[in-house]
A = this chain, B = another copy of it.
Amino acid sequence: MKRFIPDGEKFYFLTLTIMPFDFSDNLILNALREDIGSGDVTTRCSVPEDTRVHGHFIAKQNGVICGLPILEKVFGLLDSDVQVTLCAKEGQEVSPGMIVAQVSGRAWPVLSGERVALNFLQHLSGIATKTALLVEMVKGTQMKIADTRKTIPGMRALSKYAVRVGGGINHRMDLAGGVLIKDNHIRAAGGIIPAVVAARRTAPITLRIEVETETIQQVEDALQAGADIIMLDNMDMETMRKAVTIINGRAMTEASGNMEQKNLREVAATGVDFVSIGGLTNNIQPLDISLKFI
């Protein structure tokens, strides 16, 4: 059994959910409200109140499972007596037919929560699976796979969590979590150097400063300005290699620009520290998982 994240690794985003009725709880509660509306008419009308059910969440494709703790939340929010038993570890590789979790309890909350539970589980597992695939592609190289802010509205924290479960790393969580000076900022500030100087003077001292570059000249400006991270945007392989050589460890390097469609091992060979890919979080095929009652 392979697991994409080492057992000792910590998942700080999801574990925040220990704060009751906050964060991902609110997200899940909103998802339940969105799906249940003023009531699950069908279940309440046709299933006797004291009916009990037992069901299996079964994987129907190969992939990396992600979002299992959410199952406990979804049903727990509907009925604290529903029992969820996890049969797989978060981040584990699954195959068709594998039972990843079981649920037991009164039929009403289980049937009313089924769709929301699956919607989360399938989408997050889709992200983890895609990330794991790309991480596998560049295995043995120094290059890491990072996410972006191209996430589906509302799913930012969970999407970035799923990237980590799939073995990727996180770029900034939001606009307050890092300074990333792009071409528009550079133009407005009158060049890379004044932009970085302004940011150094004004931004919280705990944030790194990254600069987006498209040419070797810009890379040299960014180095001179003392950027902590230099983004190599839409460069061809040769330019990227040259940029990495010039930087020579004085800043971290990030490859960017439709990277999903590139040969990632070739990108890794340029020596960049990491590559960021929007499609990790905004172009996802859900992992096929179903809930079967027995």
Instruction: Evaluate contact between B149 and A152: CB separation under 8 angstroms.
Output: no
How many angstroms between the C-alpha atoms of A79 and B141 in the bound complex? Answer: 40
How many angstroms between the C-alpha atoms of A21 and B119 in the bound complex? Answer: 22
25 contacts between A and B (CB under 8 A): A8-B48, A13-B39, A18-B78, A19-B32, A19-B36, A22-B32, A27-B154, A31-B154, A34-B154, A38-B177, A41-B178, A41-B203, A43-B175, A43-B185, A45-B199, A45-B203, A46-B198, A47-B184, A118-B150, A119-B152, A172-B206, A178-B205, A184-B293, A205-B229, A206-B208
CB contacts under 8 Å to B, within A215-232, are 228-229
Instruction: Evaluate contact between B204 and A173: CB separation under 8 angstroms.
Output: yes
Among A51, A152, A293: residue with most chain B CB under 10 A: A152
Copies of this protein chain in the complex: 6
Nearest-CB distance from A210 to chain B (Å)?
7
Instruction: Evaluate contact between B119 and A282: CB separation under 8 angstroms.
Output: yes
Q: Which residues of B contact A177 (CB under 8 A)?
A: 37-38, 176-177, 204, 206-207
Instruction: Evaluate contact between A45 and B173: CB separation under 8 angstroms.
Output: no
A86 within 8 A of B: no
Q: Which residues of B contact A101 (CB under 8 A)?
A: none
Instruction: Evaluate contact between B154 and A45: CB separation under 8 angstroms.
Output: no
Instruction: Evaluate contact between A175 and B40: CB separation under 8 angstroms.
Output: yes
Interface residues on A, range: 35 or more
Q: A37-B175, A119-B150 are in contact. List 18 more A-B contacts (CB 8 A).
A: A10-B202, A12-B39, A13-B38, A16-B36, A34-B154, A38-B176, A40-B176, A41-B179, A41-B203, A42-B179, A42-B180, A46-B189, A112-B175, A119-B149, A152-B152, A164-B202, A178-B204, A180-B206
A133 within 8 A of B: no
Cβ 8 A contact of A107, one of B51, B146, B188? B188
Nearest-CB distance from A142 to chain B (Å)?
13
Nearest-CB distance from A76 to chain B (Å)?
9
A140 within 8 A of B: no
A236 within 8 A of B: no
Chain A residues with CB under 8 Å of chain B are: 8-13, 15-16, 18-22, 27-49, 51, 53, 77-80, 107-109, 111-112, 115-116, 118-120, 122-123, 146, 149-157, 164, 169-182, 184-186, 188-189, 195, 198-199, 201-208, 210, 228-229, 252, 274, 282-286, 293
Cβ 8 A contact of A46, one of B29, B169, B188? B188
Instruction: Evaluate contact between A80 and B20: CB separation under 8 angstroms.
Output: yes
How many angstroms between the C-alpha atoms of A199 and B206 in the bound complex? Answer: 14
